[in-house]
């Protein structure tokens, strides 16, 4: 049994415990946390003033970890409402005892969730990482991040899996199917109306293309949430970690997806095509690309050594958990895929 916490100051993460047996939320305090210093509250107020001047600024509700304790592999949490602006203002106020699982008073200590997402293809296991798009990410553009990863919010209370499901859905919900290009071409007339095309071009295309209905994209080229849920072969908490310098604790999950690798890669291509076509309400993908990394230990260790500097701290901590618990986690992934195939085969034989 390893001794915890495991500190890696150079790579900016702390592993408090791995592997976990579960996560339990003991209490949730709905009223906002009020233990911040006057300095932090003043900075928070100033951010609010700037927000009124810049509509792009966003201050969403987040969850503060007031208390965290691990008993027999179960992570017990007490959570309280906080916000993104105060998280930005207090990030890095880690206190004197940086290794402590308990947060300093003047710190948002916001809870995040992420996953080691694994697929199986040709009998081999693959870990998925995404290269964050510099176009849509202020922080970390061009770096590799876990897929999925995101901050938990009070709206997700009672089901921390919700953030994971939402983030993974955003990344792989689109499907590259026959007919997508033809549907997107019908968006030309909308671009004409917005001034993207000349009057002459408009006359050339108006008889051939109709205004696209965004619902057509949703209906034909996205996965319904229930379909995506049916592809989840495993979703289990495996570790509790934190940023050493920034203070941003997160629960790491093991996520197994029964989706072929090429299907995921094609999905990000479809998302880019749809976003570039200017369909209302559809933003560009968070990731420039998604990368499956083969989970053969010598090859994986060499890949990590070569790419380490390009990997986000959260992902470096998660990969360290993977390498420290290699046999345990890979056996768990292999087993869940095997059991899924057995169940499907049994149903097919019964029919």
Instruction: Read off the tokens for 85.
Output: 């602006």
Rg of the chain, C-alpha, whole Å: 22
pLDDT of residue 210: 43
151 located within any domain: yes
What is the average pLDDT across 194-214? 51
- Give the tens place of pLDDT for each residue, 222-231: 888 788 888 9
pLDDT of residue 211: 46
49 located within any domain: yes
pLDDT of residue 119: 97
Q: CA distances (Å), 181 to each of 92, 118, 206, 269, in order?
A: 46, 30, 17, 12
pLDDT of residue 207: 47
pLDDT of residue 158: 54
217 located within any domain: no
pLDDT of residue 334: 97
Give me the sign of the Cα torsion angle 270, 273, 278, 283.
positive
| Peptide bond between residue 148 and the one before it cis (omega within 30 degrees of 0) | yes
Asked if pLDDT for residue 193 goes beyond 60, the answer is no
- Give the tens place of pLDDT for each residue, 271-282: 888 777 766 677
| Peptide bond between residue 105 and the one before it cis (omega within 30 degrees of 0) | no
pLDDT of residue 189: 47
Question: Residue 62: which of 126, 124, 153, 135 has the closest Cα?
Answer: 153
Tally of structural domains, the chain: 1
17 strand-pairing partners: 240
240 located within any domain: yes
Asked if pLDDT for residue 48 goes beyond 60, the answer is yes
187 located within any domain: no
Residues 25, 106: Cα–Cα separation, whole Å: 22
- Give the tens place of pLDDT for each residue, 302-338: 999 999 999 999 999 999 999 999 999 999 999 999 9
119 located within any domain: yes
Residues 85, 153: Cα–Cα separation, whole Å: 14
Asked if pLDDT for residue 75 goes beyond 80, the answer is yes
Residue 311, helix vs strand vs coil: strand
- Give the tens place of pLDDT for each residue, 220-274: 788 887 888 889 999 999 999 998 888 889 999 999 999 999 999 988 888 888 7
306 located within any domain: yes
Q: Model-level pTM? A: 0.87
DSSP per-residue string spanning 213-274: PHHHHHHHHB--HHHHHHTEEEEEEEEEEE-TTT---EEEEEEEE---HHHHHHHHHHHHHH
In percent, the amount of the chain with pLDDT more than 90 equals 44
pLDDT band at 203 (very low <50, low <70, confident <90, very high): low
- Give the tens place of pLDDT for each residue, 137-174: 556 678 999 988 888 888 765 567 777 877 788 788 88
DSSP per-residue string spanning 130-193: EEE-TTT-SSSTTSEEESSEEE--GGGTT-THHHHHHHHHHHH-B---TTHHHHHHTTHHHHHH
Dihedral through CA 263, CA 291, CA 129, CA 334, nearest 10?
60
CATH of residue 305's domain is 3.90.79.10
pLDDT band at 208 (very low <50, low <70, confident <90, very high): very low
pLDDT of residue 49: 77
273 located within any domain: yes
Range(s) of the domain holding residue 269: 6-175+222-350
- Give the tens place of pLDDT for each residue, 281-312: 777 888 888 999 999 999 999 999 999 999 99
What is the average pLDDT across 31-54? 85
């Amino acid at each position: 049994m390893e001794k915890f916490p495991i500190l890696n100051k150079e790579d900016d993460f702390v592993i408090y415990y791995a592997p976990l047996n579960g996560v339990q939320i003991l209490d949730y305090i709905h009223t906002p946390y009020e233990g911040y210093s006057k300095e932090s509250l003043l900075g928070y107020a100033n951010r609010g003033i700037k927000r009124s001047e810049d509509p792009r600024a966003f201050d969403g509700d987040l969850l503060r970890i007031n208390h965290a304790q691990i008993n027999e592999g179960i992570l017990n949490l007490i959570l309280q409402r906080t916000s993104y602006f105060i998280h930005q203002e207090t990030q890095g106020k880690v206190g004197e005892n940086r290794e402590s699982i308990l947060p300093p008073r003047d710190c948002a200590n916001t809870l995040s969730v992420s996953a080691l997402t694994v697929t199986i293809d040709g009998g081999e296991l693959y870990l998925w990482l995404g290269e964050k798009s510099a176009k849509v990410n202020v922080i970390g553009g061009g770096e590799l991040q876990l897929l999925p990863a995101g901050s938990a919010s009070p709206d997700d209370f009672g089901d921390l899996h919700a953030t994971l499901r939402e983030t993974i859905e955003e990344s792989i919900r689109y499907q590259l199917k026959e007919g997508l290009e033809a549907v997107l071409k019908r968006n030309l007339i909308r671009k004409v109306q917005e001034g993207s095309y000349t009057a002459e071009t408009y006359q050339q295309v108006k008889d051939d293309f109709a205004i696209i209905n965004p619902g057509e994209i949703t209906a034909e080229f996205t996965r319904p949430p229930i379909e995506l849920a049916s592809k989840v072969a495993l979703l289990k908490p495996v570790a509790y970690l934190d940023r050493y310098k920034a203070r941003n604790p997160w629960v790491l999950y093991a996520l197994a997806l029964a989706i072929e690798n090429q299907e995921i890669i094609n999905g990000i291509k479809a998302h880019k095509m749809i976003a570039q076509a200017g369909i209302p309400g559809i933003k560009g993908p968070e990731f420039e690309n998604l990368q499956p990394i083969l989970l053969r230990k010598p090859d994986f260790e060499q890949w990590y050594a070569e790419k380490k500097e390009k990997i986000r701290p959260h992902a470096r901590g998660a990969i360290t958990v993977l390498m420290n618990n290699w046999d345990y986690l890979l056996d768990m992934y292999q087993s869940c895929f095997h059991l899924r195939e057995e169940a499907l085969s049994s149903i097919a034989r019964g029919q």
